[in-house]
Structure 1
Amino acid sequence: MVGAVSRRLLKELKDYQKEPNPDLAELSPIQDDNILIWKAELRGEADTPYEGIISLDISEEMYCCKRGKVLKCGFIPGGHWTLHIDIPKTYPIHPPKIKFVTKICHPNVSFKTGEICLDILKTAWSPAWTLQSACMAIRLLLSNPEPTSPLNCDAANLLRCGDLMGYESL
C-alpha cells in the first residue's frame, strides 16, 4: 500500500512542479526521506483580510502591519500562509491531516492549534481530491468563512453579527 501512496504523491509533486499554481507558493515534502509529511504555502487572496500582510520582528515579539495598522500577531510576510500536511498511509482513500502553522484568525481555524474545519478534510473527502486541490479549497475557505461551524467562536460571533470591522481587526 505504501508503494501506491508514494507513487500517487510523487505524481502529485511532479504535476505541481510541471504547472505551478500561482496561488500556491509551495507544495512539497518537508524531508527527502519522508514522503508522508508535506508543507504548503498559500498566498492570501486579493481584497480579503488575508492579503498583503507584512510582519515586523520587534524585540522577540511579532507584529504586523495590516492596511496601515500595526497589530501584534504572527503572520508571514506578504500574506503567505503555511500549512503542515500529514498524509496517512491509506492516502488517497483517507484524507490528509492539514493544519495552519501560521497563526490565523478565522472562524473555521483554531487559533491555538491551526486545525481546519472543512468537510473535504473529513467526511466529504474523495480520492479524486489531490493535495493541491485540498490546499485550494482551504484558500477558498479563507475568503468564504462558514460561521455556523466554527473552531474560533470569537471570529464567528463577530461575523454572524455582521461586525466586519471587528472581524477584520482580530
Structure 2
Amino acid sequence: MSQRLLKEYKEAAQSKMKEKDIRLTCQENLYKWTAILQGPSGTPFEGGTFHVQLDVQENYPLQAPKARFITRIFHPNIHFKTGEVCLDILKTAWTPAWTLQSVCRAIVALLSNAEADSPLNCDAGNLLRNNDVRGYNSMARMYTKLYASTPARD
C-alpha cells in the first residue's frame, strides 16, 4: 500500500502543473491528503476554492478513501454539517483501479451533476426535486461566495 501511495504522491506533484482545477497535497502522513478543488465553470460553484480531506484506509487501494469537504458547501450529495461526500465510487462502485486523483475528478464532476434522489443535504435535494433550480443555484452561489471565495494557497 505504501508503494501505491508513494507513486500517487509523485504523480500528484507532477500533475500540479497540468491540472489547475485539482491539487492534491500530502504533508508527512500518506494516509491524510488534502484536495484543493476549483468549482467547475458554469455551475454555482464557479470561482470557489474547495478543500476536501481524503483519509486513506490501511487496506487502500482495496478500500476506498473517506472524503469530506472541509469548506462548507450547499450540495445535495454533501452532508451539510460533516462534509461527507455521497458518491458511488467511494462506496459500492470502488475498485483498486481508482486513484486519489480520479476520486477528485469524480468529486468535481459531482459538483456539476448533483444527484437529488438520495441526498445527504435534504434542503438542497428538495430544491432540485421540486425543480427549483433557481433557488438551488442561489443558495449554492451564496455558500460559494461566503465560504469558498478565498484563493487557493500552495
Fold shared by both chains (TM-score > 0.5): yes
Question: Which consecutive aligned stretches of 4+ in structure 1 deviate over 6 angstroms post-superposition?
Answer: none
SS of the equivalent of 1:166 reads: helix
Identity of aligned residues (%): 55
**1:44 aligned to which of 35, 39, 49:** 39
Number of residue pairs aligned between Structure 1 and Structure 2: 137
d(CA) in 2 for partners of 1:123, 1:86: 17
Query: Structure 1 residue 19: deviation in Å?
Result: 2.8
Q: Which structure's CA Rg is the greater one? A: 1
**2:116 aligned to which of 134, 147, 168:** 147
d(CA) in 2 for partners of 1:86, 1:104: 19
Task: Could you tell me which runs of 5 or more consecutive residues in structure 1 were left unpaired when the two chains were aligned.
Answer: 53-78
- 1:27 matches 2:24: yes
Task: Could you tell me which runs of 5 or more consecutive residues in structure 2 were left unpaired when the two chains were aligned.
Answer: 140-154
Q: Which position in structure 1 is the counterpart of 2:94?
A: 125
Query: Structure 1 residue 138: deviation in Å?
Result: 0.5
- Give TM-score, length-normalised by structure 2: 0.86
What is the RMSD computed on CA atoms of the aligned residues?
0.9
Query: Structure 1 residue 148: deviation in Å?
Result: 0.4
SS of the equivalent of 1:146 reads: coil
Q: Which has the higher contact order (CA 8 A, sep 6+)?
A: 2
